[in-house]
Amino acid sequence: MMPLTALARPYLCDRSRPEMPRRFFRKFTLKRERLAQQWYLAPFAHLLHDPQLWGIRRRNVLPSVALGLFVAYLPFPGHMLVAALLALALRINIPIAALSTLVSNPLTIGPMYYFAFQFGELLLGLPPRPFAFELSLTWMMDGFVYIWQPLLLGCVLLGAILSVSGYLVLNLIWHASISDYLAKKRRKAAAKSVSKN
């Protein structure tokens, strides 16, 4: 059976793609110097010098992406802010954690929550009910009581699955790209030594 890193290599060897994941993620990082000049960030200036919060290293990026993907599935607003605050508490890359929450957007949020609700309903063993919207306080109280448990359970579990999957896939791509990059460097060094001789 072919190893997973070998399966990822054809994608990474394409010249139109960046050779290293760090170069890809560097495009999305914020410039600390520009942030330091913003008056409203003055109380947080000491955080701008912490390399853990801004660094583009595998140990910072992978957990940041995983955190952002998990938070994106949670059924409440303010995903970017929540991901940024959690990244700050965990001392991982803040911008990447915040940007990873964008998998939840106006195009994807409906299907994500629908499948989360269906999954939670299945796990709790609740009988399926037809959905009928009614603009009344009674419906909102009854509907919320029925919906929140399966929705929250489904969101947490599917968010965890998405988070772990994103972490593993990105880790695989990162390792494959590094090994490909090192192999290219070795080939160049070997070619130089042969041309010198």
pLDDT of residue 164: 96
197 falls within a domain: no
Question: What SS3 class is residue 89?
Answer: helix
What would the two tokens of residue 8 be? Answer: 């990822």
What is the per-residue pLDDT across 13-43, written as a single tens digit (0 to 9) for each? 444 444 556 666 555 555 555 555 555 555 6
- For the entire predicted model, the pTM comes to 0.68
What would the two tokens of residue 191 be? Answer: 């070619």
pLDDT of residue 72: 94
Of the given ranges (4-13, 73-82, 110-119), which has the lowest mean pLDDT? 4-13
Q: For 4-15, what is the mean pLDDT? A: 45
190 falls within a domain: no
pLDDT of residue 30: 56
pLDDT of residue 68: 95
151 falls within a domain: yes
pLDDT of residue 45: 60
Length of the chain: 197
Which domain range does residue 84 map to? Answer: 8-184
What is the per-residue pLDDT across 111-169, written as a single tens digit (0 to 9) for each? 898 899 889 888 888 787 655 555 566 766 666 667 888 889 999 999 999 999 999 99
3 falls within a domain: no
52 falls within a domain: yes
Element (H, E) at 185: helix 137-196
Domain tally, the chain: 1
pLDDT of residue 32: 57
Tokens 């912490």 belong to: 50
194 falls within a domain: no
Instruction: Decide if pLDDT at 99 tops 80.
Output: yes
Instruction: Decide if pLDDT at 50 tops 60.
Output: yes
Q: How many CB atoms lie within 10 A of CB 87?
A: 25
Which DSSP state fits 73? T
Question: What SS3 class is residue 64?
Answer: helix
